[in-house]
Amino acid sequence: MPRSMLAAAVAIGLLAAPFAARAADTTVVLDVHHAGCVLCGPIVKSTLAHVKGVSAVQVSQPDGMSDVTATVTYNTAATSPATLIKAVTDQGYPAELAKPSKG
């Protein structure tokens, strides 16, 4: 009996492994436009933090102008960059994936 239980546990583990591998956390950087007021950064951060699957959000205003940069860590099984972009765009802050810096 214990041997069959072990075999069942191994089989379940092997079946579950592909799902676990697909549900990984990743990080994306968004350029968020028209977010120059003192409340805009916190609104963008709160909006992104409330998207299902998001585990961390950092918002910064690197150039002191009206755009902010949002660094978002999220679970790929629960959300996507397109969903993150839509969330902030729906709040009035058009967003796009940040272009890699040349360097």
pLDDT for residue 100 = 74
pLDDT tens-digit series, residues 79-99: 999 999 999 999 999 999 998
DSSP state of 33: -
Tokens representing residue 90 in the block: 């729906």
Supply the pLDDT for residue 36: 83
- What does the mean pLDDT of the chain come to? 84
CATH code for the structural domain at 24-97: 3.30.70.100
Region 18-23 average pLDDT: 55
**What's the confidence (pLDDT) of residue 74?**
97
Rounded distance between C-alpha atoms, residue 30 and residue 79, angstroms: 15
- pLDDT tens column, 55-78: 999 999 866 667 899 999 999 999
Q: Cα angle at 38 between 96 and 84, to 5 degrees?
A: 25
Query: Structural domain boundaries of the chain?
Result: 24-97
Tell me the β-bridge partners of 21: none
